[in-house]
């Protein structure tokens, strides 16, 4: 068989934009919850958001993550949840900002494509930058405008044929983008708070999209192997 005889196949890809939408809604709800109840009572919501984001990343790939992928994805969240329960700070919420990108990074970790130390350091550097942006967003809320990108991005992506060939993903992401914005404005502002939930959600959207865009651009070795697999049989 030659390359010309091979039938093109659509590679399975994570729903990274959907994961960002879930993260944005979760961050807004959890931060609102912190003003109402102790952190330990937020753990069920945190776990649900964590698993939903993981489902958006690993579910569309059509196979279960390997044990090391599962450990790498879940372990940081589990450790930070313990930190929150011990009242040492709600760092778990900050980790959620980078979780879609971390999931993308871990999903590309295979024996043929090992996770590089430089990639992890780049991710951590972007996460620290994102946390700084998210923190100063409460004072200078310009990054909050990223919230309004969420309904627009999937509509813009519909202009690309490859995206239209995945109608389920497109429909889910269009609905999630609009629903996330609606949820952010529906959450009431806690009494005495300096920033409203929609500004927090907007900061989370800007940071999440920024880090996920970086992670999405990293090569996936398995795709390269698929393109060359049909050349010689």
- pLDDT tens for 109-164 read 888 888 889 999 999 999 999 999 998 887 888 888 999 999 999 999 999 999 99
The pLDDT of residue 56 is: 94
First to last CA, the chain: 6
76-124: pLDDT as tens digits: 999 988 887 787 767 788 899 999 999 999 999 888 888 889 999 999 9
Q: CA distances (Å), 228 to each of 8, 34, 92, 218, in order?
A: 11, 51, 41, 19
Higher pLDDT: 88 or 51? It is 51
CB 25 within 8 A of CB 205: no
d(CA 120, CA 55): 22
109-115, long-range: CB within 8 Å, 24+ apart, which pairs? 109/68, 109/69, 109/72, 110/66, 110/221, 110/222, 112/221, 112/222, 112/225, 113/219, 113/220, 113/221, 113/222, 115/72
Taking phi over 0 as left and psi of -120 to 50 as alpha, with beta for the rest, 10 belongs to: beta
Residue with tokens 């929150």: 84
């Amino acid at each position: 068989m030659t390359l010309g005889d091979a039938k093109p196949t659509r590679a399975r890809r994570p729903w990274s934009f959907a994961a960002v939408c879930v993260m944005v809604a979760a961050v807004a709800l959890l931060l609102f919850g912190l003003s109402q109840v102790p952190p330990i009572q937020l753990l069920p919501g945190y776990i649900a958001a964590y698993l939903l984001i993981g489902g958006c990343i690993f579910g569309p790939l059509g196979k279960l993550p390997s044990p090391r992928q599962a450990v790498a994805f879940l372990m940081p969240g589990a450790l930070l949840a313990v930190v929150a329960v011990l009242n040492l700070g709600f760092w778990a919420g900050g980790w959620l900002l980078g979780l879609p990108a971390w999931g993308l990074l871990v999903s590309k970790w295979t024996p043929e494509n090992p996770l590089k130390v430089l990639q992890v350091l780049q991710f951590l550097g972007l996460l620290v930058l994102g946390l700084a942006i998210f923190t100063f967003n409460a004072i200078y809320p310009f990054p909050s405008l990223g919230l309004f990108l969420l309904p627009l991005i999937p509509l813009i992506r519909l202009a690309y044929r490859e995206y239209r060939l995945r109608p389920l993903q497109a429909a889910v992401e269009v609905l999630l983008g609009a629903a996330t914005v609606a949820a952010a404005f529906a959450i009431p502002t806690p009494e005495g708070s300096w920033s409203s939930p929609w500004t927090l959600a907007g900061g989370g959207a800007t940071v999440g999209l920024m880090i996920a865009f970086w992670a999405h651009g990293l090569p996936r070795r398995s795709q390269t192997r698929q393109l060359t697999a049909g050349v010689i049989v």
